[in-house]
Every structure is written in structure tokens, then in C-alpha cells.
Amino acid sequence: MQLDHSFTVPANPDDAWKLFLDLGRVAPCMPGAVLDTLDGDSFTGRVKVKVGAVRMSYRGEGTVSRDGSARSMHLDVSGSETRGAGTASATVTATLTAPRLAPGCACARTSTSPAVPRSSAGAS
């Protein structure tokens, strides 16, 4: 499964890229996400996820790599449920481009490839 999303950032791509380099400023923009620690390219945090009527909270860790020439960042994240035995992991790629129809703005495209969560209750 892959989840794709795009949105416009009201800043030129170079300025938006400078913001993307600061995970401490980006994390609060992600609903349900809290950045707990940041050490170089490694971080820990928490996220709350709601899918339909099901709510889950995870605590985990991740790493980030960046490609400035492509204005792209790649996150590898993994975590475990705070109230259960389930685990989850995902890779997230975010890329900034200059949209043709919105000069002075940046288009952010994200692609998330989540691994299917595993739970001891649902394991076979």
C-alpha cells in the first residue's frame, strides 16, 4: 500500500526547503505527531493514528536522510503501540518542487509506504 499526498507551501522552494531541514519545526505540522528527541539524523517520537473507528498510539524512532539538490527527504520510522503489542513501520519520502501555476510557492509531495501493522491479538 502507498499513501500519496500533495499540498502547496506559501514560500518559494528554496525557503521551504530550509524549513524542511528543521524536523523540530516540521513535526508539529503533522497531525498527531510529537517529536520527543532529535540527535543529528535520528529521532524519537509519538504519533496518534485514527483509521475509521480504530485509534492507535505509537512510540518509536526513525532516521532521516536528505538530498538537497533534489529537495527531497526520506524518513524510515518504526514503533510499537503504547497500549498493546502491535508494531508498525513506514518509509516516507517528501519532495519539494516549483509548481508552474503558483509562482513563488512550493509544491510538497509526500509518499508513505506503511508496513502492515502487526498485533499479537491479530497474529496468525
Residues 6+ apart with CB under 8 A from 105: 8, 9, 10, 11, 12, 98, 99
- Assign domain 3-114 to a CATH class: alpha beta
CA distance 72 to 124: 38
CA atoms 96, 97, 101, 102: torsion sign: positive
List Cβ neighbours of 36 (8 Å cut-off, separation of 6 or more). 43, 44, 45, 46
All structural domains of the chain with their residue ranges: 3-114
pTM given for the model: 0.80
Per-residue pLDDT tens digits for 89-111? 999 999 999 988 778 899 999 99
- Tens-digit pLDDT profile for residues 40-64: 999 999 999 888 898 889 999 999 9
Beta bridge partners of 60: 45, 79
